[in-house]
Structure formats: C-alpha cells, structure tokens
Amino acid sequence: MRGVFLAIGDELVAGRVANTTSFWAAGLLSRRGYRLLEIVTVPDDREAIVFHLRRLFPQTDFLIASGGLGPTEDDLTSESVAEALGLRLVVHKGILARIRENEKAQGLPVNTLRDRMAHLPEGACPLSEDFTAAGYLLEHQGKPLFFLPGVPSQFRELFEKKVLPYLEEKFPPKETVFTRTLRFFDLREAEINRAVKKILGEGLEVGFYPVFPEVQLTLTARGKDEGEVRRRVLEAAARLQTHFPEHLFGEDQEELAAVLGRILVERGYSLSVAESCTGGLIASLITRIPGSSEYFIGGAVTYANWAKREVLGVPERFLRLFGAVSREVALAMASGARKRFSTTFALSVTGIAGPGGGTPEKPVGTVWLGLSTPTETVARKFLFPGSRHEIQTLAAFTALDWLRRYLLTGNLFPAYRFAVEGD
C-alpha cells in the first residue's frame, strides 16, 4: 500500500519550523509495511494545495496531510480540498456547537471568524469525537484522505489513535516488514557497499546513512511469511558480521559505548578515562548509557597542564620535554588514571582539537590516545580531520572503539584510518 504525505504551512517552507512530524509518521508507516511515495511540503497557498491534491490523488492508496486547519485567514486546507476534489463545504453542526460552548466557557464574545473551523468538505468525518482537535477523514472514491492539525502533539495523537488503526483495518498489511540496522565505525560507505554486493543475495533492501562518526546500514526484507522474512534479514546480518568482525560493532539502538560496556560487564572489568582535548566527551558518552556505573568508575578532565600533573601524576619533565600532546604524556595519563581510579583499563586522550593551537609539527587534529591494561600501557598517534567538534568526536569514538576491539581480538594495534603509524 502506497501513501503520500502533504505538509502544509508557511512556517515550514520558510524554515521557521522543521517539519519533523512528517518523518516521524513516515517511520511508523514504513515499519508497518506502508510505503510513502513522497513527502511534499507547501506553503498555505490555495493553488499549491489544489495542484498537489489533484496530482497525488490518482497515484496513491491513501493521503495524509497536516496543517492549515486553524481558524485564521491563512488556514486554507479545507477550501482547497473542496476545490481540488469538486466538493461543497458544509457546516458541521457538532463542531459549530463546540465552538460556541468554548466561547461561553471562556467568557469570550461570539466570534464568527472561528466558524471557519466548522466548514468541512462534504462527507468529511471529524477524527476527534469531542471535536477538541481539528482533523478529519475524507473517503473520496474509496480512498482515505486524512487531514490532521499541524500542531505536533495533536497530530501525533490523532495519527496513532485514529489513522494507523484505520489503515491497518482497511489495508491489512499484506506482508511482514523486518528491518535491522547495522552500525559500523571506521569504515567508509563504499567499502561496506562492496562487501554488501558480494555477499548479499536478492530480496533485501539496503539503505546507507552516515550518522557521524558512524556508518549505519539498514537491511529490510518484505514478504508474506514472517519467519522467512526475519530469517532473510538475520542471515544477511550474520554474513556481514562475519565479513566485518571488528568494524560492525552493533545493531539497531546499540551505541558503541553500550557495546563496550556490555563486554566489560561480562568479564567483570572496570574502566576509567583521562581526557584533555575531548574534555569529558568520552566520559559523557559512557555515562549516557543506563547501567554504566557497573563498570565506569570515573574520569579526569585535565585541561590545564598542571591538572594533568596534579590529578594524574604526569611528570612535569614530560610536559616540558615532549609537550602535552605527546606519546609520553598520553602514556602517563592512561597509567595515571588506571592507578588513581584502580580500574582494569584506562583510556587517555591528549591532542589539538583546534581551531587554534596547531603548529607545523603538531597540526590541528593531532591526537595521542593511550590505553592502559593490567599488563602494559601503549599510545598511538592519530591525525583526525574536520572541525573542532568533529575532531573531538572522532577521538572519543576511536578511544572507545580501540578498547572494544582489543577486548574482542587481543590485538593492541588494530588498524585505523586516521592512525599515523611509525611515529
């Protein structure tokens, strides 16, 4: 079953409000097996609304529209619907009575401008039984057309309580849809795509989306047999997992920090961090995960040099001889944190996130990461690209991922795109 979404509002095309409601609805529809052909956003303009309604009506099985149902002059949806479909506007007595009651209850004078909201295309059926929210269903030539208010909370309530149940009754999903999202770190879309082509069979829809700094891949299958549909997706996911045993770190809602946390908990390990240029971002990523207190003991954000000395015991002469952004300081920070917080592992970061502070030998993006384990402490140099925030994010994700990959493989030096070796 194919639908279209028509979002109506001057505030949307002017970018004063981001129309996230349409994408929220698109997600719900898609997960139930309904496909949207397009999402069109137009201003409160009668000609535009009429044009798109006429164009979309023959192509679609159902239509969902939002906005333009209020009492003001620029609310033009109902009259545009009437014009587009050749219908009269008729007064809905229940809505009109409700308008008068509201005026009375609020001690307002009768204002017939509000009556506009009671003028609906003939055959329209209000979706809110007590008429507290605007919005109606119009069945035209057997096709359901839903007109919902633009206010997100009202839209969402009517969409979930009225639109979805109606669609599921009228168009019972003919097929099962099953989607799995696979999450990759430190791989390019193109590299993943090459593998996808080689190892995935037919009958799967593949979608890529970069969600910085990850790449996320969705595998979707459709079909009549639920078990078979799930099997197709899960088998493909397993093949990709085998192909990318280290880079495919998680599925669906699993954050990188949550995957690392799960491994730490399973093995009874604990973790601390020592951060300079990431400034608390690693600790923050870890502690966003519920239950992180099981393995995360604490962290030191040592932005000033003397904080590195005072809190982590980094020797003064290291800072003087090698500078704060150096192998020696990264090593001392990692082992200092591991000692201070008495943890199994510690991660450290010291680098130049910019925009200032770069030099020819240590340009912006130069970052040393340190990892201290019960048996050794090592450090690696990276050169991350991008803005200050991107460099901080890449450094934080790489640190978490480094420990995750070490715990998976025992290899202390897994390959990374932005690693600078031999330094």
Does residue 423 interact with a copy of itself by CB under 8 A?
A: no
Kindly tell me which residue out of 365, 392, 395, 402 binds a copy of itself, with binding defined by CB under 8 A: 392
Work out which of 114, 140, 222, 380 binds a copy of itself, going by CB under 8 A.
114
CB of 235 to a copy of itself, least distance (A): 21
Q: How far is CA 339 from its chain centroid?
A: 37
**Contact between 313 and a copy of itself per CB under 8 A:** no
420 binds a copy of itself (CB under 8 A): no
DSSP string, 226-294: HHHHHHHHHHHHHHHHHHSTTTEEEETT--HHHHHHHHHHHHT--EEEEESTTTTHHHHHHHTSTTGGG
Q: Does 176 bind a copy of itself (CB under 8 A)?
A: no
Q: Which is nearer to a copy of itself, 25 or 84 (CB)?
A: 25
Residue 293 found at the interface with a copy of itself (CB under 8 A): yes
Tokens standing for 73?
């002059």
Q: Which is nearer to a copy of itself, 145 or 289 (CB)?
A: 289
Tell me the HSE value of 368 on the side-chain side, using a 13 A CA sphere: 22
Tell whether residue 79 is a contact of a copy of itself (CB under 8 A): no
Strand 176-185 relative to strand 125-126, pairing: unpaired
Task: Establish if 291 lies at the interface with a copy of itself (CB under 8 A).
Answer: yes
Side chain identity at residue 45, one-letter code: D
Query: Which token pair is 350?
Result: 């010291």
Residue 297 in the binding site for a copy of itself (CB under 8 A)? yes
Of 100, 390, 406, 408, which lies in the binding site for a copy of itself, with binding defined by CB under 8 A?
A: 390
Out of 170, 373, 388, 408, the only residue in the binding site for a copy of itself (CB under 8 A) is: 388
Kindly tell me which of 55 and 88 has the beta carbon lying closer to a copy of itself: 55
Binding string, residues 12-51; x marks residues near a copy of itself by CB under 8 A: xxxxxxxxx-xxxxxxxxx----xxxxxxxxx----x---
CA geometry: angle at 164 spanning 141 and 43, to 5°? Answer: 70
Quote the tokens at residue 125: 């059926």
Q: Does 235 bind a copy of itself (CB under 8 A)?
A: no
Residues 6+ apart with CB under 8 A from 353: 277, 278, 364, 365, 367, 388, 391, 392, 395
Contact 418, 390 (CB under 8 A): no
Name the one range near a copy of itself by CB under 8 A: 136-144, 159-167, 231-239, 274-282: 274-282
Among left, alpha and beta (phi > 0; psi -120 to 50; other), residue 366 is beta
Measuring CA to CA, which residue among 112, 27, 23, 119 is closest to residue 68? 119
Site membership for a copy of itself, residue 413 (CB under 8 A) = no
Does the protein bind a copy of itself through residue 80 (CB under 8 A)?
Answer: no
Of 165, 170, 65, residue with least CA distance to 124 = 65
Q: How far is CA 104 from CA 99, 101, 108, 240, 243, in A?
A: 9, 5, 6, 65, 69
Report if residue 406 touches a copy of itself, rule: CB under 8 A. no
Q: Which two tokens stand for residue 276?
A: 């300079």
Number of residues counted as binding a copy of itself (CB under 8 A) = 96
Piece in contact with a copy of itself (CB under 8 A), picked from 110-118, 133-141, 260-268, 369-377: 110-118
- Any idea what DSSP says for residue 71? S
Residue 80: phi and psi, rounded to 5, are: -70, -40
User: Looking at beta carbons only, is 142 or 190 nearer to a copy of itself?
Assistant: 190
Question: Closest distance between a copy of itself and the C-beta of residue 113, in Å?
Answer: 6
Instruction: Verify binding: residue 325, a copy of itself, rule CB under 8 A.
Output: no
> 327-386: which residues touch a copy of itself (CB under 8 A)?
340-341, 354-356, 386
Shorter beta-carbon distance to a copy of itself: residue 7 or 85: 7
Q: Is 265 in the site for a copy of itself (CB under 8 A)?
A: no
d(CA 246, CA 243): 9
Among 58, 106, 224, 360, binds a copy of itself (CB under 8 A): 106
- Distance in Å, CB of 209 to a copy of itself, minimum: 5
Min dist. Cβ of residue 293 to a copy of itself (A) = 6
Nearer Cβ to a copy of itself, position 139 or 153? 153
Question: Using CB under 8 A, which residues numbered 129 to 148 contact a copy of itself?
Answer: none
Tokens representing 309 are 């000395």
Q: Scan residues 198-227 and list those touching a copy of itself (CB under 8 A).
A: 205-210, 212, 218
C-alpha to C-alpha distance for 406 and 371, rounded to whole angstroms: 10
